[in-house]
């Protein structure tokens, strides 16, 4: 399953060179991951109430070309790996007009306890099932 959304580049997203500031891409990547989790029924505020946080532990971004002011971009997010402990999101930010890739990212996320800050030994079952479904390992419930 893939989550896709579109975004226009605003002035606040750009730097003094007139291109998207490298850190602005992180906001769009975060939105993609959050909304993909929401597609599976996992609201991050509700997970926090269940003592579950999902911090990023590894972020690998390849910047291929720069988006510019008023460009229409497309953000694609999908789960590509899950080992029971870490889930990997593959994300692309592309030009809506040309389809060319601005950035490609691999983002690893784990589950920690909000109250203790300690890692869960395994991803909590409700999340694990969703991630396995996303990879086609399980049939949807």
Confirm if 2 and 135 have CB atoms less than 8 A apart: no
The candidate with the shortest Cα–Cα distance to 124, out of 136, 135, 109, is: 109
Q: Kind and range of the H or E element at 33?
A: helix 24-39
15 as an active site residue: the answer is: yes
Q: Any bridge partners for residue 119, and if so which?
A: 112
State phi, psi for 101 to the nearest 5 degrees. -90, 125
Question: Cα separation of 98 and 122, whole Å?
Answer: 41
- Tally of helices (H runs) and strands (E runs) in the chain: 3, 7
Strands 56-63 and 112-113: unpaired
Instruction: Give me the catalytic one of 15, 71, 106, 108.
Output: 15
Looking at the annotation, which residues are catalytic? 15
């Amino acid at each position: 399953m893939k989550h896709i959304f579109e975004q226009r580049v605003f002035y606040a997203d750009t730097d003094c060179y007139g291109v998207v500031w490298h850190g602005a891409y992180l906001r769009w990547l975060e939105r993609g991951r959050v909304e993909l989790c929401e597609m599976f029924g996992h609201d991050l505020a509700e997970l926090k109430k269940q003592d579950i946080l999902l911090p990023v532990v590894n972020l690998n971004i390849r910047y291929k070309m720069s988006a510019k002011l008023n460009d229409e971009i497309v953000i694609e997010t999908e789960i590509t790996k899950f080992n029971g402990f870490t889930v990997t999101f593959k994300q692309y930010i592309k030009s809506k007009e040309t389809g060319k890739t601005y950035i490609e990212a691999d983002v690893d996320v784990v589950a920690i306890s909000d109250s203790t800050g300690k890692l869960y030994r395994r991803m909590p079952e409700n999340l694990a099932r969703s991630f396995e479904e996303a990879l086609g390992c399980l049939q949807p419930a």
